[in-house]
Amino acid sequence: MECETDRLGGYDAYVFYFSASCSSSFGYVCHRLGLLQHARSKERFRMQEFQRSIGYGCKTYDYTLQRRFGTFPYVPLVLLSLPGPCHCGSCRGPAPSNAAVRLAQRVACPLLEGMDLRTALRHLVAEIHRIDASSKLAPVRVPRDAALDPTLHLG
């Protein structure tokens, strides 16, 4: 279970989608949000080195980025309620729409109803910019073999 939460918490942004006609899919979204909240309970930093090609299949060091993975309140995420019938086979009725609204308010993210994925991704990008303006989650370029320095993300 620890590996799964580490993998879940390692992404930069999230789109959680569920079928409006299926309470089981909404329950799964709630479960995954809980796992994400656990995975992002502590702030983490990671160094990532990048290479560039110098030709003929050879690569050389290019630059290093320090990446910040903020706590759950600073995770860009969007809830997406998909219209149409559900075909999962375990439906117990439609997802309560007021529960989805309350969930979106509780985790402070937009709830998009009846939109396509492209529109949801546009909203997600706007959410990333909004959160980054206040929390500085963007990667920072650092010298090679530099030690982790959380103060670099303070602006």
Q: Confirm whether 33 is domain-assigned.
A: yes
pLDDT in the model for residue 155 = 57
Contacting residues for 146 by C-beta, under 8 A, at least 6 apart: 47, 64, 66
Residue 59: give the domain boundaries: 2-149
Judge whether 116 and 81 are in contact, CB under 8 Å. no
Q: Confirm whether 109 is domain-assigned.
A: yes
pLDDT in the model for residue 4 = 54
Mean pLDDT over residues 121-132, rounded?
84
Bigger pLDDT: 80 vs 132: 80
Q: What is the pLDDT of residues 58-81, one digit of tens each?
A: 998 888 888 887 788 888 888 988
| Total domains in the fold of the chain | 1
Q: Confirm whether 37 is domain-assigned.
A: yes
Q: What CATH number did the domain enclosing 111 receive?
A: 3.40.50
pLDDT in the model for residue 123 = 87
18 C-beta neighbours (distance < 10 Å), count: 22
Judge whether 85 and 53 are in contact, CB under 8 Å. no
Q: Confirm whether 155 is domain-assigned.
A: no
pLDDT in the model for residue 44 = 82
Q: How far is CA 108 from CA 49, 65, 101, 105, 133, in A?
A: 33, 29, 10, 5, 16
pLDDT in the model for residue 1 = 47
Confidence band, pLDDT 50/70/90 cuts, at residue 151? confident
Q: Confirm whether 145 is domain-assigned.
A: yes
Q: Confirm whether 154 is domain-assigned.
A: no
Q: What is the pLDDT of residues 82-113, one digit of tens each?
A: 887 777 777 777 877 788 899 999 988 888 88
